[in-house]
Amino acid sequence: MSEKHIAIRSARATGRAKLNLSFRILGIMGDGYHRVETVLQSVDLEDSITISVTDDTAGGKISFGRIDSKVPGDFPMDGSNLIARAVDAYMKEVPESGKLSLKADIVKEIPIGAGMAGGSADAAATLVALDRIMGDRLGTDRLMELGSRLGADVPFAILGGTCLGTHRGDHLENIEHSHKLFFLIVKPRNLSISTPGLYKSYDDFVTGDQESISPVVPAGKLAESLRDGNLEELVERVGNDFEPVLFNLHPELAGLRDRMLELGCFTANVTGSGPTLFGLVASREHGRYIKRMLASDPLRKDRQDAPYYRFGRLDVFVAESRERGTTVD
């Protein structure tokens, strides 16, 4: 492809993990997807994707170069991952880019299979980096629309900050507030949750009007707490409709929630469909203290009174909120 068709030969974009501060399931829509209402928050666990134009004459493809993963788990280095799917979607939207041969280098810090939208963050970073190479051909709004075809979390991964998400969670309204939030994030390393399977279990668990059944405070109320700076009220309004079902399927997670609260987290809740739990804490130092307490927990050594270690090591992170989603160098 001629150099005149591209603005630059390489761009690095950083995608950020998300937490669901609130997650309500309000029924099933006509297309079969569940209608949800959620408050989404970007945090500073980040994946960086560098997309480079190569001199390979065979265009319309992407290869994978270096991957520096700082988290456990396998990352697929083939066409099944969301990076490759994002490139394919972009090339169909911007046909001129289909003549490019690309390489992706990855630095991964978002936990894999954690319910924190790591794959969506990678897709978002890929779309933003490729659009920068093409001279910002699409821009944020069109990239978000394109991203929604890849997954419900991709539009938020692009926009970021704090948002109220409705429909599948992909219809977004920015929540403006000036409060830095700090989190302890805990993932049982060897536990994975099937999101479709969990929705099926939830549907079996409830009958009738799901909105009237939901014990979780409406997301708009949580948004009000953020805007008003009422953090005590915020603590009372964090919640997730999946929790009764998930804790019934995996009681160990309920035990982990209880232990996080005992050690000083203000809240302890599931993000998305799990298995990751997060707790609001006062500061990074407060989060690091609880992380150390979990690491030296006398209950951890395969004892029956600490069943949350059934799934092996706990991967623990301390994070803070971010006001933006994907950024590009």
Q: Which residues are catalytic?
A: 18, 153
- Phi, psi (rounded to 5 degrees) for 298: -65, -10
**Burial 132-151, CB ≥16 within 10 A → b, else e:** bbbeebbeeeebbebbbebb
Other CB atoms within a 10 A radius of the CB of residue 30 amount to 6
Here the tokens at position 85 are 């799917």
Which amino acid is residue 177, in one-letter code? Answer: H
Residue 52 bridge partners (DSSP)? 10, 103
Give me the phi and psi of 16, to 5 degrees please: -115, 150
Q: Alpha-carbon distance 134 to 62, whole Å? A: 15
C-alpha triplet 197, 43, 283: angle, nearest 5°: 120
Q: Where are the alpha helices (DSSP H) in 94-186?
A: 118-133, 139-148, 154-159
3-state secondary structure of 198: helix
How far is 63 from 79, CA to CA, in rounded Å? 9
